[in-house]
Structure formats: C-alpha cells, structure tokens
Structure 1
Amino acid sequence: MEQTSEEFFHDFRQELLAGAEANGRFQLDEFMETIAAELVETGFTEGFELCHFRALRGVRVDGYWFNDEGALDLFIADFESRNELMSLTRTDVDAAFKRVANFFDASIDRNLADDLEVTSPEYGLAKQIDDRRGSFSSLNLILFSERTLSGAVQSLPDGEVAGVPTSYHVWDISRLQRQRSSRSHKEPLDLDFEQMFGQGIACLPAHLTTDAYQSYLMVMPADVLATLYGSFGARLLEQNVRTFLQARGNVNQGIRATILNDPGMFFAYNNGITATAQSVETEETDSGLAITKIVDLQIVNGGQTTASLFHTRKRDKADLSQIFVQMKLSVINSQQSEMVVPKISEYANTQNRVNAADFFSNHPFHVRMEGFSRRIWAPAQKGSPRETRWFYERARGQYADAQSKLTSAEQKRFKVEHPKPQMFTKTDLAKFENVWDEHPRWVNLGSQKNFARYAARIGAEWEKSSDGFNEFYFKRAVARGLIFRATERIVSAQPWYSGGYRANIVAYTLAVLGDIAKREKQSIDFLEIWKAQMVDSVLESTIAVVSKVVNDDIISPPHGISNISEWCKKEACWTRIQSRAEAIADILPKEFYDQLVSYEEQIATVRSAKQTQRIDNGIETQRKVLTVPANEWARIYQALLDREFLTPKEAGIFKVAMQIPVKVPTEKQCAVLLDVLDRGRTAGVLVEK
C-alpha cells in the first residue's frame, strides 16, 4: 500500500535523525546532503558542496555547485526539524529564493567576499562568483524543503538575477517522495517539442505491431539536441553514459572538427544516438509522422556527441543549423526498463567500449559485491549479542525495495539485521577505496566524478583478473568504510573544526595515514577493524592528530587561490600534503605503529583470498553451465554454427555440453562456454529466448 505524505515525512525524519547521529553531522547538513545525493545520482545536478551562510540583511545560501557548462547551482534550505508535515506557501518560496538570489547579487555587485573570513567556505564561493562574473550561462536556484508545496503554486517562471538567466526549482517532501517511489527511482523528464521548438520531430516507425515495444528512427536537428542538453544537462543521459562523460571529459575533438570544418558530412560520419523513452505522442503532419512529446527521454549511447554539439555551439559559436543526427528511439515501459535499458546501453556501446561506460549496476563486480553483502555476517560489536550485515546497494533504491513487501514485524527484523548506518552505495564504495589507494583528489571532485575514475580503474583490473575481488576485498572495503565514517565524526567533534571542508579534510587525512603506513612498508590492519566493527581509541587519536595538520594545510592555499574546495581538487594540493607526511609521522603515537601489519602478512592474506575466490569462480562457472539443459546447448550450438561463429575447439566443447548430465564440462570448458555466450549476445548473433 502506498504511503501517505505524512507517513513518508515521518519515515524521512527518522532516517534523517539516525543519519545525523551516525555521520556526526548537524541535522541541517544531513538534510542537505541526503537530498543532494539523490539529485546527483539521478542527474538533476552534477554535484554538491555544503556552504552555510546567512546574514541579517536577507542573504542566505546552504550549498552550491559550478558545473562544466558555465551554470551555477545555488541551494537554500527550508528546514527547522519540524515534527509535523506543514504546507510551503508561495510567500515562503519567494522569500527563500529572494535570500539566495541576494547572495549571488551581493557577490557580484557588492563585493560580499570583502566582508567574509578568508578561510570560510562562503568566502570561497562569493569570491569565485565574483571572479567568474560575465561567464555564467545560467543560474539555477534550488530550494530543499521539509514541507510540502502548496497546490496554489502552479509554476515558477524563469527570471534573471544580476543579468544572468535564472531558473527556480523546489524539492519539497512530496516531490522527493514521488522520486523515491517512481519505478526508475528518478523523476521522469517530459519534453513537449511543439511547445519548446514550435513543431514535432519527423520520425519513421521501426517496430512491428506490438504493445510491449515500439521503436522509431528520427533525424534530430543538432540545434534541438544541443538546446535540450543545455536545458537539462546530465538528466538527459542514462546513468552509465553520465559516468562515461565524467571520466572522459565533454568534448570529442573529432566531432568538434567535423562540426566546424565539414558540417554537411556530420550525418554521414557520426554513428548517431541511441535513446529510450517511457512513452511518446505522435501526430500525422503533411510531411509524415512526427513525435510531439516524449516522456523520460534518456540517451544511452551518444552522450559525447550530444555534449560536443552543445559545447561547440557555446564555445566556438558554431552554426548547427545544417547539422542533423540520426537517432534510434526505443519506447520501453517502466516495468521493463530496469532489465532492458542496461542491455540496450551495453550493446549500443560495444563499438566504443570503455570500462567506465560499461560499469552498470549489473556489472559482475557489483553483483559479486552484492552477493558478499547478503551472505557475509559482520561480527557482533563488543557488548552486542547480534551479528549484522553491511547492505551494499548496487542499484539505487535497493535498501527500500528490500523492505517494501515485508510485514511490519519482518521490516523490524530486517532493520536489525541490516542497520541503515551499515548501508553503502556504489559511490560510497568508490570514496572508501580511492582515499586509501592514493587518489584523495578524485574523492574531492565529487561523488560522480570520483565514481567514474573508480569505475575505470576497477573495470580495467576486473578485465585482467576478477580473483582480486574476493571476500577479503569486501571485508577490507567495509573496514575502510568504518574508518571513513568514524573520521567524519572525529573531525566534526574537534575544537578547531569551524564547520567547513569536512569532506576534504577526511579524504586527505586517510590518504596521509595510508601514505605513512606505506613508507613503513606496512598497512593498517583492516581485518582487525572488520572483526571489531569499530575504530579503537589509538586510531581515533591518530586521526585527530593528522586531521588537524591537514586542516591547517588546506586552509592556507597558495597565493591567488581563493576557493579552498577548488584547491583541494588539484594534484598540487595532495603533493604538498604528501611532502609533509614525514613530519606528520614523527608526531603520531607509538601505539599506532604497533598496530600496523607488515606487507608480507598483507600479501599472504591477499594471495589466500585470491585462491579461494578462484575456486569459488570455478564452482560458480560450472553451476551456471549445468543449469542450462543439454537440448538448449544444442539449440545455441546450431545457431552459432549457422553464423560460423565457433572455432573447431569451441565446437568440440559445445558437443560435451550437449551431453549433460552424461558428460560434464571441465571448469576451463565451462569458462569457454560462458565466454562464447557473452560474445554471441554482444555481437547480436544470439538472442535471448
């Protein structure tokens, strides 16, 4: 049964209180970070930096993000930790937007930065706004509210602040509930081409008469595509395509050269775009069928083409009027989308295969991590009688979905076994891992860009050998997560902590600890932390010492750099902190070094875990092959043979599989069979029955 807004509000409030306590954050910070994380995940905004500032003269801001398209997102909160769900009126909305607009206006026109403390986040933001004056393409003012927007507020028309085109967005409790409860866990993007461009887009139906699936071939004017990207940015791109662009940058120089030098040949040279939608509306025109509306357009291949068209038009003032892009649009209903869209995306990207772009939530790495998280019990903490699990959310909303069909008693048991503070996502995992693997700068780039780099790194390692991703890897990741979250709490509790740059301090503190241990040819004993399920007092006091030095370092950036968060994203920041590691090492307690484990011990643990995983992989490979009956292997064999897809050796192995259970393929033969199946599907030779 669907929750009422009041029920959702009370659940959200309890989640917020628990999260604030677990993360050592103020409730306002937890509120902003929780909603922002959801919007980053779904592409509504590219990132989020906390920055609380309010002045008596009606100026306020609570967060920001500068995106790559010259747009600035400024966030403001409507949050008082209310006990009951209340209504958000038009007057409230206008007042909030006025305050955050005043911050932007004062930064540009009234030298606000001159009145602020130079080490504060608000100084860095105000100064950067002033430094970028004249270069903003747009301003997005975004209100996060714990209230529900009054039905009397029908629209929020665009406006202008300090000469910059401005749009207004309200994320109230009802909109957040709609996003969480939508099947795809994101807010659908609805496009009305007639309203936006004065006419529909010509199309050619490319499907048989079926209710389940429709497909259209379209010739998209490049100007339309660039305008859509300019208006909606990353929301237009399916998640793995956003990951790909985050990893690779936005402009493909080959595409740019064609736009500028040979626009008439663009259609011939470019592979085009593959996209999906939940539904479309069409109408017959004098020149044939046209699509007038699309619900939830998502580009699953061709994100780089789209971004390059936008950037080349913006930066090079390119004329796109003579450029057209072919687009294949598949209409997939929401019931099928979770299974079908990743496959369309995977197969569409095979011509330009990039690990980061392939790193779907159903990539074998994530599936394996999920398997460990559902199977492995974490040891009971001291004083607790119960073991628990760490819930890895490889796909957005899994934690909530796992409880949705349970009775209240079953839900209670689920939460005891899988406490909310022990739920972690793909982007959390990327943070936990990258700080220890000497990539703290990546973590400071924001969750999506950090995940993109982690995806590329792990994807490449998985291709070489998947054996390294084993039970030890999972337990070590959880231990790293425990230390990461403990460090957040420790930093927040320090007397010197002023409320800013916590994420930056945490990333560099842990990277320094890893670096110091590495210089000693030793490592933090992650398995011991896994066993204890907590960080002991020795490590806590060590973290407190290192974090103070890191804080003092980052709040003194080189001359000419005003925004400390931006300084923390630069390699030079990490290089400078690293250069001080030796001096930091001298002031750490002796007990810290006593707890480290030698490289030899670590290598032995890793080697043993790899061997166990190799055995598990072999068993799993054989299990998968043996679940397919002999007659099905015979059908697949014939289909591949007809297309001349098999080598003689592979054909021989298929003949063994066709005799299951009389004959059983060996472990190596099973691996070959599964590899052939995968290649056959990717090449389109095999179609799922």
Structure 2
Amino acid sequence: MDTKEYFSYRKELLESSVYPDGGGYADSLFLDNILSDLLETKLIDSEDINNCFHSSILDGSKLKVDAYCINETGERLQLFLINEKATSIGAKEDDLILSTQAEYEEMFIKANNFIKKSIKRHLDLQDSDPAYFIVEQLKSSEFINQIEVIEIFLVSPTITVSKRENQIIGLKRLNFKDKELKTTYVLGRRREEKKILIRQTLIDLNFLYSVSLSKGNEYALEIDIEDIFGSKIEVLKAAETEDFESYLCVLPASGIASLYRKYSTRLLEKNVRSFLQFRGVNAGMRKTIRETPEKFIAYNNGLTITATNSEIESMGAKLYLKTLTDFQIVNGGQTTASIFFSNKDKLDISEINLMAKINIAKNLNDEDLNALISNISLYSNSQSKVSRVDLRSRDPKIDRIKQLSDTVLTPNGRKWFFEKSKGEFATRKRLTGGKIERDYPRKIRLSKTDIGKYHTAWGDQPWLVKKGGEKVFRTFMENLNGEGVRKGEIEIDRYFYEELIAKAILFRGMEDIHGVRSNAIGQLRSAVVPYSISVLYNMFGGTDKRDAKFNLEKLWKDQEIEEDLKVFLKSLMKKMYHLIDKYKFSTDVSENAKKKELWEAIKKSTDLKEFTKNSNALSITEKYTFSKPKAKKSKEVDFSQLNEIVGLYSKTKEYYTKLENALIMYNVNNEVQLQYSQRLFSLYVAELFTNKKLSEQGIKFFDDLFSNIRINANSIFDQINVESDLSIPSALNKIMTIYGNAISDNKNIVTVFQGHEQLARNKGFKYTSSITEIGKALLNGKSPEFKHVSLASKYFKS
C-alpha cells in the first residue's frame, strides 16, 4: 500500500496549522482545520468549540483534554483529544503507521481519566486554567443530571492499517465499543444513580484524507438494528423501483430513544436538523405519552427514513431488517427528539410504537442521490412548512456566487477563490502542481461556511454567528432566498459579490487586529469579532429593515482596512471584552455569547451608547458613511464558461498527450479501471486546440475526468510535468479587470476597449480589431469569444 498521499496530506494539515506571525504550529489551529470535516460527516453540529488544553498526572494516572463543546440541548458533551506525538513535525513515518486498537486505547484512557477524576472531584484547578469551567461542570450534580452522553474524539494524524507478517496489506477502520460510566450524585435531597454513555471515535488520516477527497460517505452512519432495538425488526416491502426500495415497519419508542441517545442529531437529515427546535418536548406529544401512550401510533405520522444500503434477512415468508447504512431521518425529527427527552424526563415510553417508512436508495451517483433524498425530505414534510432553503446542496444562488468568484477580479487584478464543493481546491492544486497556492493564498480563499458567517455577521445577530456551522449558513440561505429577517430575494450580482468580499475583508481584518496568543486582546475572539461588527453595523444605521450606510465599496477597492479604522476597531474590541464580562449571566462566557439575551443587554447598555458617541466614533462614522446609490449597470456578463476553456487550453497540448498515456498505463497496470471515454478525450482535445472552442459537454467531460483521477488515482498527476502556458489566462484576467473597473467607474465599455485597440495599433500589435469585438460583446452582456481573447492576448499580456 502506498502511503505517500496520506503523509503529503498530513504535511499540508500541519503547515496550515501555524500562526501567521511566524509563531509556529498550534494544536488549536490544527483542530480548527479539521472541524469542517467533522461537520461535513455530521459528527458535530458546530465548528465553535472551546479550547481547554489540560495535561497532567494525578495519582499515577495521565489526564489529557484539548477542547470541548456542549450541544445546544445540553445532553451531550463532546471532548477533543489530540495525539501530540503524531502532530510533531519531526515524527518519523514508521511511527505514524499504527495497526492495533490498543495503541489508540492508550490515548483514549487519558480523556477517560480526565472525566472520572473530574466527576469524582479529585481534580482541582485554578480559575485561570483553560479547563477550569468544564472540570467544574463535571463536578456539578446539575450538569451530571443533564448530560446523557460524553463523546471523545481522538484526533490522530496517523495511518491505521492492517498488517500480515509486518507487511501492510491495506487500510483499517477501527470502531471502539461504547462504555457506560456509573456515577451517583445528589440532586436536591435525593441521591441519584446514573449511567453516562461514553463513546470513543477515532479521527485518523484514513478519515481526514477520505473526507478531503469528498468521500466522507465512506464513513456514513451504519445502524445495527438488533443492537439498538434488542431484536430484529420485521418489515413489509411496499415498493421497488430501479432507484429505490420502500419498506414499512413498526418501531418501539424505547429503541428510538436509544438511537437518539447514541447518535443525537447525526440521525437527522442534514438540511432538516439545522432548523428543528429540540428545547423541550412538543406539548401534544408529551400529553399523549403521559396519558394515552397506546394511542401514540394512531396520533403520530411516524418517521420517514432514508438509507443507501441495507441488510435484510428472509425467514420463511417474513423479512427482517438487520442493518441500515447512511441512516437519515428526513421526517419525524421532532418526534424522535420528543421521545428521547420524554424518556430522559422519566416518562414511561415502554408502550409506545411508531410507524416508519424506510426508503433505500440504490444505483445512484452522489448528485442523483442528493436530489432523491432532498425530494423525499421536502414532500415528506409537506404537512408543515419546510422551506426549500433547507434543500440547499445545489442552490442556484451558490452556483452564481461561484461563477462570480471565478470571473470578478479585484481592482488590483486578483481573484478570491470560493470553494463551493469540498475537495475543489485540492483538485486544482494537483492540476497546477501546487502553483495555485501562490495565486490563492489562504487569506483570499473562502468556503461555504465562511461566506455564510461573513454575510450574517454584517447585521444584528452576532450570537448566531458565534454558534457557527449550519445554523449560520441556514440564516444566510434564508436571507438570500427572501425567507429571513427581510422579505424578498437578494439578487446575486457583481455588487452583492463585491460587498460579500468587503465583509470578508472586514471580518478577517478584525481577527488579525485582535491577534492571537500573547499578542491577543483576549481569549474570546470568536465572540468579540462578530459582536463588534454588529456594533459597527448599528453605528451606521443598520437595522433589520435597512442596510448600514458603511462604505463597503472602499474596502472592496482597497482590499484592506485603513489605519484609522483599524485603530478604532481595536478600541471597540477592547470595549467589547469589558461589556461581555459585565453583562454575562454565567461563568461560561463562550456559551453565553451564543445567546441573544447577552447581545440585547450589551446593545441597550449605557456603556455602549457612550462609546459609540465619543469623538473617535463620530469621526469614523462621518468618514466612512456612504450613501451613494448603486449605479445602473449593463447586463451582467458570465465569464465562467470562457474561464473554464482558457484554463483547459493553458495546460497545453503536450499535457493532454502525456495525460492520455498515463491513463492508458494506469488501466493496464491496475485491476480497478478508471472509467472514461478515449474517443471523447481525443475529440474534445482536438476541438480545444484546433477549433479554439469547447462545448459545455467538453468542459464537463474534463471536469469529471480530473475529479475522478484525484479521488481514485491521484498519483497520475505526479507523472505529468508540463509547464502551463499562462499567456491567455493572463490576458483574460486583464480583460475582466478592465471590464470590472469600467463598470465601477460608470464608463462606456466599448469606448474603453476602443481606447485599448488604438493603443495596441500604435504599438504595432496585430489583430487589434479583436479588442473592440471584445468590448462590444461585453456591452451586450455576453462573454467574449475565445478566439478574440486568443488573438488579443499578446497585447493584454504586455
């Protein structure tokens, strides 16, 4: 087995986990980098976790924990533990290849010891210790009464393998058995006994590299029905088509409660779980559970479940369900949570049963599978309002933002990279031999989570931004689609995109001003930054009904924050630390910051009003107030297809010749073949280099082929060492910059390009008429033809 790709990915993770000021590697940054993968695979609900590094030895036992979070409904504590030996830059590759469960168990024991010592009140920390709050919580009877599950994530950038006679024979996936921690505590005057479920999950390089290749489905949730429900479940086949099978069954509520206890919101379809409210139990359900539990099945609509695979056993004339893979509840999430919390509150659910419809998708690619699950989710929930915003995996507005990021250049001629789909940047990196990182350093790259956070932060909901993850992204999508605070869809055009980038510059700039470690203003940056941005938003007249009159256009044009504004923002963030501390209503300030109540208290405070009315604040307000109406623009040009063609052309014909040879050799030497059409490969290469054009089908062919290679045969890219011809991409970037600046300055586009044609003619360039043809196309809202860009490339390159 070739481990090269895994170690290369580990190196990337470690190199991206260093402080920008040259302060070196930090475990907290490493953890930040992998949280999106845990969110992607539904292991966590939010990327906002609390760092609480603690490592000690107590009574001969090693204790360690690096971070924690408590889920929104308070019954689940998640602890994060980093294998520091595996994150050492100097670690030897042989030491990073592990094969036995015992090697990981030794690390899990440290977190288990931390839990036990804290609950038994053997661990006493100073209140300045980062782990003080979580230790005090674990000592508390109220907290122990509240939580049901403690989940430990061991993050270890090691490769887990199977070995035979000391030879690696393949990757291995390790699952760790659940444990139960028995404890007693006093609540009021009663002595209570409790069993807390301890779950242990390994996040190794196998997992991280797989998710980076957009193959997180390999770690899809698999439910062992007999293990959870205590027996096999009889099912009745209701339908079968080429795409899916449908079964009906009755599920006992006790099993549903066990299922939710073990997996929590990971059970719930990703687009639905973000808007369900699980605080407390539906009053009608609670009444039925308490008074007439036997009628629950008659009153309730039951569950709709989807899966991508199943194991069904036939015994005589009956069918029994044994396992389900990629288990998701797409309708009935509120019912599931209500049953769990009723059981937690000691209501008897032993007589309750639920109807369930189980849809098992089959023979579908990822895109069709997502569409099927989205439709099942939408129509299953039709009896109550379920916004189409919930089904956001292929939202056209996100596609439009991607188009704009590919084609809108900043006034200084650079692009920001928006990674719409996970793994997209990694693919481009392999295709360019890593050179793309020079053009798109981390500070000008954006993910879907990023754009949701930055857009939402420019408003009046900083507590929501602090929650992060899907909650803030959902708010973003609601706002775009006119289902949020304001009604009416937002047009995704150049102005929207420029302002979105300005908001990103503001947010990231404030993070830099805040600083990290010894240079930081404090230890609550994830709250202080969005809270301070909301203050700025309100200072400039922003409300739920109208936009703030702050000069975002200046941020877009400058691509940085001016010095006087930096000074003010630093003073604002210092003030925010004081305000958060003054108006907090519990010792866990980080969790406080996720509550609307804290923001409302700060917003209404006399302290804040005085600060925003001082001379510095008034000076900033006067200088940065911007009320110029948006200029009327010509029809928006979509450069995305031309951009794709230019990118493919720049690889050169030699590249495709070598690629074709590498593909042929790969299929000769490997049992698992890379599926592609050699005929179409030759056809589209000829169309690109002979006819100077490429159809949409051709663009999609190469896009799918490169993605297929990255996921299944990454090493092919290493075999092709051909320098790209960047003359036409450079020319196109210059054209898009000229076009963008002409729009911003309200200039006539044709006149601008005619001026360039005259200049090109004076300098003796050929084919100068193609420059005016480019201007005419742009004026009509059309992308220029590739042949015109090619003919004009020498001038624009110069």
Output the TM-score relative to the length of structure 1. 0.77
- Greater shift in the superposed pair: 285-294 or 15-24: 15-24
- Greater shift in the superposed pair: 218-227 or 28-37: 218-227
1:66 is aligned to 70
Separation in structure 1 between the aligned mates of residue 149 and residue 513 of structure 2, nearest angstrom: 38
Say whether residues 1:388 and 2:386 are aligned partners.
no
- The answer (yes or no) to whether the contact 1:124–1:564 under 8 Å persists in 2 is no
Q: Which has the larger radius of gyration?
A: 2
2:27 is aligned to 28
User: How well do the aligned residues superpose, as a CA RMSD in angstroms?
Assistant: 3.5
Instruction: Please state how far the C-alpha of 1:188 moved relative to its aligned partner.
Output: 0.9
Instruction: Please state how far the C-alpha of 1:127 moved relative to its aligned partner.
Output: 2.5
2:712 is aligned to none
- The answer (yes or no) to whether the contact 2:407–2:415 under 8 Å persists in 1 is no
1:298 is aligned to 328
Q: From 250, 263, 267, give the equivalent of 1:236.
A: 267
Separation in structure 2 between the aligned mates of residue 589 and residue 56 of structure 1, nearest angstrom: 47
Q: From 570, 593, 596, give the equivalent of 2:624.
A: 596
Deviation string for 1:468-524 (max 9, x for gaps)?
443322221221112212222221248563763220121212222222233899633
**Matching of residues 541-556 of structure 1 within 5 Å:** 541-556=567-582
1:126 is aligned to 135
For the residue of structure 2 that corresponds to 1:430, the secondary structure is helix
Separation in structure 1 between the aligned mates of residue 391 and residue 555 of structure 2, nearest angstrom: 29
Q: From 380, 396, 413, give the equivalent of 1:348.
A: 380
Separation in structure 1 between the aligned mates of residue 388 and residue 11 of structure 2, nearest angstrom: 35
Pick closer, same or farther for the CA change 1:340–1:401 going to 2, 3 Å.
Answer: farther
Q: Which amino acid aligns with 1:87?
A: I
Separation in structure 2 between the aligned mates of residue 286 and residue 581 of structure 1, nearest angstrom: 74
- Greater shift in the superposed pair: 19-28 or 532-541: 19-28
Q: From 172, 177, 184, give the equivalent of 1:157.
A: 177
Separation in structure 2 between the aligned mates of residue 183 and residue 349 of structure 1, nearest angstrom: 28
Say whether residues 1:215 and 2:246 are aligned partners.
yes
Q: From 420, 440, 453, give the equivalent of 2:462.
A: 440
Q: From 489, 495, 514, give the equivalent of 1:472.
A: 495
- The answer (yes or no) to whether the contact 2:40–2:216 under 8 Å persists in 1 is no
Percent identical residues:
25
Deviation string for 1:370-395 (max 9, x for gaps)?
33333323333xxxxx52233152x5
Say whether residues 1:199 and 2:231 are aligned partners.
yes
**Matching of residues 240-259 of structure 1 within 5 Å:** 240-245=271-276, 249=279, 251-259=281-289
Say whether residues 1:107 and 2:118 are aligned partners.
yes
2:721 is aligned to none
For the residue of structure 2 that corresponds to 1:167, the secondary structure is strand
Say whether residues 1:284 and 2:314 are aligned partners.
yes
Separation in structure 2 between the aligned mates of residue 522 and residue 353 of structure 1, nearest angstrom: 31
Q: From 136, 139, 144, give the equivalent of 2:150.
A: 139
Pick closer, same or farther for the CA change 1:563–1:550 going to 2, 3 Å.
Answer: same
- The answer (yes or no) to whether the contact 2:302–2:354 under 8 Å persists in 1 is no
**Matching of residues 44-123 of structure 1 within 5 Å:** 44-47=43-46, 48-57=48-57, 58-67=62-71, 68=73, 70-79=75-84, 80-82=87-89, 85=93, 86-88=96-98, 93-110=104-121, 112=123, 115-117=126-128, 121-123=130-132
- The answer (yes or no) to whether the contact 1:192–1:292 under 8 Å persists in 2 is yes
Separation in structure 1 between the aligned mates of residue 32 and residue 429 of structure 2, nearest angstrom: 30
Say whether residues 1:503 and 2:531 are aligned partners.
no
Deviation string for 1:420-445 (max 9, x for gaps)?
44332333223212222111111223
Separation in structure 1 between the aligned mates of residue 527 and residue 308 of structure 2, nearest angstrom: 39
Separation in structure 2 between the aligned mates of residue 312 and residue 334 of structure 1, nearest angstrom: 38
- Greater shift in the superposed pair: 491-500 or 335-344: 491-500
Separation in structure 1 between the aligned mates of residue 82 and residue 245 of structure 2, nearest angstrom: 42
Say whether residues 1:40 and 2:39 are aligned partners.
yes
Separation in structure 1 between the aligned mates of residue 399 and residue 601 of structure 2, nearest angstrom: 38
Pick closer, same or farther for the CA change 1:257–1:231 going to 2, 3 Å.
Answer: same
1:423 is aligned to 445
Say whether residues 1:274 and 2:311 are aligned partners.
no
Pick closer, same or farther for the CA change 1:348–1:24 going to 2, 3 Å.
Answer: farther
Say whether residues 1:307 and 2:311 are aligned partners.
no
- The answer (yes or no) to whether the contact 2:179–2:199 under 8 Å persists in 1 is yes
Separation in structure 1 between the aligned mates of residue 453 and residue 383 of structure 2, nearest angstrom: 30
Separation in structure 2 between the aligned mates of residue 239 and residue 140 of structure 1, nearest angstrom: 20
Separation in structure 1 between the aligned mates of residue 241 and residue 35 of structure 2, nearest angstrom: 42
Separation in structure 2 between the aligned mates of residue 556 and residue 196 of structure 1, nearest angstrom: 47
Pick closer, same or farther for the CA change 1:319–1:493 going to 2, 3 Å.
Answer: closer
Say whether residues 1:539 and 2:565 are aligned partners.
yes
- Greater shift in the superposed pair: 201-210 or 450-459: 450-459
For the residue of structure 2 that corresponds to 1:444, the secondary structure is helix
Gap runs ≥5 in structure 2: 164-172, 184-195, 639-695, 697-798
Q: Which amino acid aligns with 2:399?
A: V
User: Matched residue pairs, number?
Assistant: 594
**Matching of residues 397-416 of structure 1 within 5 Å:** 397=422, 400-401=423-424, 404=427, 408-410=430-432, 412=434, 414-416=436-438
1:8 is aligned to 6
Separation in structure 2 between the aligned mates of residue 232 and residue 549 of structure 1, nearest angstrom: 41
Pick closer, same or farther for the CA change 1:571–1:182 going to 2, 3 Å.
Answer: closer
Pick closer, same or farther for the CA change 1:204–1:94 going to 2, 3 Å.
Answer: closer
- The answer (yes or no) to whether the contact 2:297–2:353 under 8 Å persists in 1 is yes
- The answer (yes or no) to whether the contact 1:283–1:291 under 8 Å persists in 2 is yes
Separation in structure 1 between the aligned mates of residue 241 and residue 53 of structure 2, nearest angstrom: 58
Separation in structure 1 between the aligned mates of residue 239 and residue 542 of structure 2, nearest angstrom: 62
For the residue of structure 2 that corresponds to 1:13, the secondary structure is helix
For the residue of structure 2 that corresponds to 1:224, the secondary structure is helix
- The answer (yes or no) to whether the contact 2:253–2:349 under 8 Å persists in 1 is no
**Matching of residues 351-370 of structure 1 within 5 Å:** 351-355=383-387, 358-370=390-402
Pick closer, same or farther for the CA change 1:269–1:364 going to 2, 3 Å.
Answer: farther
Separation in structure 1 between the aligned mates of residue 175 and residue 408 of structure 2, nearest angstrom: 49
Separation in structure 2 between the aligned mates of residue 588 and residue 29 of structure 1, nearest angstrom: 35
- The answer (yes or no) to whether the contact 1:139–1:166 under 8 Å persists in 2 is yes
Instruction: Please state how far the C-alpha of 1:145 moved relative to its aligned partner.
Output: 1.1
Instruction: Please state how far the C-alpha of 1:76 moved relative to its aligned partner.
Output: 1.2
For the residue of structure 2 that corresponds to 1:351, the secondary structure is coil
Separation in structure 2 between the aligned mates of residue 355 and residue 177 of structure 1, nearest angstrom: 34
**Matching of residues 317-336 of structure 1 within 5 Å:** 317-333=347-363, 335=365, 336=368
Separation in structure 1 between the aligned mates of residue 292 and residue 133 of structure 2, nearest angstrom: 43
Separation in structure 1 between the aligned mates of residue 497 and residue 5 of structure 2, nearest angstrom: 35
- The answer (yes or no) to whether the contact 1:509–1:547 under 8 Å persists in 2 is yes
2:589 is aligned to 564
Instruction: Please state how far the C-alpha of 1:531 moved relative to its aligned partner.
Output: 2.0
Q: Which amino acid aligns with 1:71?
A: R
Pick closer, same or farther for the CA change 1:468–1:318 going to 2, 3 Å.
Answer: farther
Q: From 519, 522, 525, give the equivalent of 2:551.
A: 525
